Amino acid sequence: MIFLNRFARPRIDALILGLGNPGMAYAHTRHNAGFDALDACAEKTGIMVNRTRSRALTGSGAWRDKRVALAKPQTYMNDSGFAVSGLVQWYKPGIIIVIYDDVDLPPGALRVRGSGSAGTHNGMRSVITHMGGEDFPRVRVGIGKPPPGWDLKDWVLSRYTDKAEAQAVAEASRLAADAALMIVSDGVEQAMARYNKKHIGIK
């Protein structure tokens, strides 16, 4: 867990980011699992994510005894780091937590990590570049690999046609919100112990 403001009291305790692409054309596509999870965070906390700041939709409020900000970068996925760097400068959070989709996990799988590389995810690569390091918690929602003959870009920007797959990823996105909020309240180790065992999968 990275403490971004070691020598002064943070303005907020945690900044939770959901990665995705803005606009109705991309709503609820595979690549927007992070946005869907962030919406679930907003619902669970009662925080309205309706203000524009640093090229992101944001909102802030309380979660238990913590001060929390939620944000959905509006820079499009591959440039997510531009929004994140501005948000970090504004909110001066104690920690940041990033929620995003992962093609290397099966649909409905969930993984919480305290740090790590971006893997094949361009949005996380942008965030890590602008943060200047990988030492911050992240929650990955599995969306599965593209079938044979599919281009990766076309796959992540597509919507679900299989009802069971859609339900599995939707439930995983809701659990991702729970996991992110548990990181805020109880720490990343507790969230890893609880949610890395979760794999909704396709029923």
pLDDT digits (tens, 9 = 90+) for 161-202: 999 999 999 999 999 999 999 999 999 999 999 999 766 555
- Please, what is the average pLDDT of the chain? 92
Q: What is the mean pLDDT of the segment spanning 54-76?
A: 96
Q: How far is CA 64 from CA 48, 129, 182, in A?
A: 16, 32, 11
Contact 61, 191 (CB under 8 A): no
Q: Hey, is 158 helix, strand or coil?
A: coil
Q: What is the mean pLDDT of the segment spanning 78-85?
A: 96
Q: How far apart are the C-alpha atoms of 153 and 39, rounded to whole Å?
A: 24
Q: Which CATH number fits domain 12-195: 3.50.50.60, 3.40.50.1470, 1.10.1380.10, 3.20.20.70?
A: 3.40.50.1470
Question: What is the CB neighbour count within 10 angstroms for residue 53?
Answer: 16
pLDDT at 197: 73
Q: Hey, is 15 helix, strand or coil?
A: strand
Say if residue 23's pLDDT is above 60: yes
Contact 74, 56 (CB under 8 A): yes
199 labelled catalytic = no
**Which residue of the set 31, 121, 130, 199 is catalytic?**
31
Say if residue 19's pLDDT is above 80: yes
Going by their DSSP bridges, the two strands 138-142 and 110-113 should be labelled as: antiparallel
- Backbone conformation region of residue 62, classed left if phi is above 0, alpha if psi is from -120 to 50, else beta: beta
Provide the pLDDT confidence category of residue 11 given band limits of 50, 70 and 90: confident
Provide the pLDDT confidence category of residue 2 given band limits of 50, 70 and 90: very low
pTM: 0.93
| For the chain, domain boundaries | 12-195
